[in-house]
Amino acid sequence: MSADLVDLVQRLGRPRVLVVGDVMLDRYVWGNAERISQEAPVILLRADTREERLGGASSVATMLQALGAQTSLVGVVGRDSDGVRAGQILSDLGIDASGVVADTGRPTTVKERYIGRAQDRHPQQMIRVDYENRAAVTGDVEARLIAVAEAQLADTDLVLVSDYDKGVCTPRVLARVIALAHRKGVRVVADPTRGGDYSKYIGCSSVTPNRLEAGLATGRTITTTAQALAAAAELRDRLGLEAGIVTLDKDGMALAHRDGRSVVFPTRPRQVYDITGAGDMVMASLGLALASGADYDAAIRLANVAGGLEVEKIGVATVSRDEILADLLHAPFRTADQRIPGAAKVAGLPQLLTDLERRRAAGQRVAFTNGCFDVLHAGHVQYLAEARRQADCLVVGLNSDSSVRQLKGPTRPMNPVEARALVLAGLQDVDFVTIFTEQTPLALIRAVRPDVLVKGADYRKADVVGADVVEGYGGRVHLADLRDGFSTTSLIERMRAA
């Protein structure tokens, strides 16, 4: 589990993000692919459901809104029923669409996808039909876009440019948006279109092309992570970026930062159902994290997780903060070296509950305790040994870094949660370690349902979190003796004074 990312998600506020780019309407027609047509050698789709979602830049805005941002959108629709429908969806989602301009000279861009189910198995996209005018906006429409963007920039924490090459992101529009953003000290992050000329993105804080787009822009073939890093560095230098980023689908993302960092951030394997919208999700989550004050490393790692969740869904779908948290908390615990003794004891909640079910089926009783365990000392070891003697196995609930800060102050913990978890797991008396992010372990206690809840003797039973819950179903509370002369706080003070 990436506890620092858990902390980041919990710290995300509601930043104001302006999305500039191509507004689209995604239409889905679902049905059963029953047989081959008698008219031609094509599959006959028996449609039963029709659905409309937002695509392109409006997809990025939708994803940002679902992730908790305050989102504004600048773009173009046609003066037609599809444009009205796109505006209605934006309004229903709470996205500020006052910057969406209606252009009588073009239709609203629509991508129509036909999704077939074969014998009720997993649905697959069969064909996509596009309705669009890709000519660049000019004259009055271009001027109106610049005017509405300038008005929105008065109260914006970050600008995302989502360029699908449908005519909105002209050199004039982007140059003005970038200049205005620079004047206000606001970052501009661009997801560029496919093509060789990236000059219109000069002055952005970063760009996020995929490997094909980055290859076309730099004249490179990108098949390795080293080639991706070289392309990211070339784009960074050529465009004057703070960071060049190349997205590498299943291989993660490559970052070449102005400060010299050159890093590839891998992503964990996923069951891929549909890659549609994955790039938009990466863009939205990256922008949200940067707008909330995260650095590029953490923002990219979070974007990897969000993009991975998106490809597990069909079509352009949103991902919530709760889904990201659940994925982070329930993912297998990973260390740099799984040969470290006890590493397998550290488990996410679903795996923990499965293991405890097996233990209970074998007649074992479960003890539970919790704490920060920041700098482990002899008092902790004695305490955990006594806790283990109360039952057949001991579960330790470990406070995440953010919850330690809430309890102990901004200078704690001294050790990150991954290190604290491994030290605990290395003790013979500890059977399981699981990490919780809340300020108290009450939700974890309710999930684990220990037979014995253990806390230090410096507590009164009435003050022990979860005591009433455990005693309510017939369990008991044990107050363990504490060893005199041992205190994490005093130990840290002595180390600092040394």
User: Is the pLDDT score of 273 beyond 70?
Assistant: no
Q: Alpha carbon of 4 to those of 294, 403, 407: distances in Å?
A: 11, 11, 17
Question: What is the Cα–Cα distance from 434 to 394, expressed in whole angstroms?
Answer: 11
Highest mean pLDDT of the ranges 188-197, 231-240, 307-316: 231-240
Q: What is the mean pLDDT of residues 139-144?
A: 95
User: pLDDT value at position 476?
Assistant: 95
Is residue 165 within 8 A of residue 195, CB to CB? The reply is: yes
Place 339 in a pLDDT band, splitting at 50, 70 and 90: very low
Is-catalytic flag, 280? Answer: yes
- pLDDT value of residue 442: 92
Tokens representing 176 are 């003005």
Does 362 have pLDDT greater than 80? yes
* Angle subtended at Cα 205 by Cα 62 and Cα 176, rounded to the nearest 5 degrees: 80
CB contact set of 274 (below 8 Å; sequence gap of 6+): 125, 311, 313, 314, 315
Q: Answer with the residue of higher pLDDT: 278 or 313.
A: 278
Query: Is residue 54 predicted with pLDDT exceeding 50?
Result: yes
Q: What is the mean pLDDT of the chain?
A: 88
pLDDT in tens, 372-414: 998 888 889 999 999 999 999 999 999 988 888 888 888 778 8
| Residue in the structure block whose two tokens are 């505006």 | 87
Catalytic residue among 280, 327, 374, 429: 280
Check residue 275 and give its pLDDT.
60
Is it the case that residue 276 has pLDDT exceeding 70?
no
Give the pLDDT confidence score for residue 207 in this predicted structure: 97
Predicted TM-score of the model (pTM): 0.67
> What tokens were used for 80?
């037609």
Residue 496, pLDDT > 70, answer no
Q: For residue 338, what pLDDT is reported?
A: 44
Most confident of 73-87, 188-202, 374-388, 478-492: 73-87
- Residue-wise pLDDT for 99-133, tens only, equals 999 999 999 999 999 989 887 666 788 999 999 99
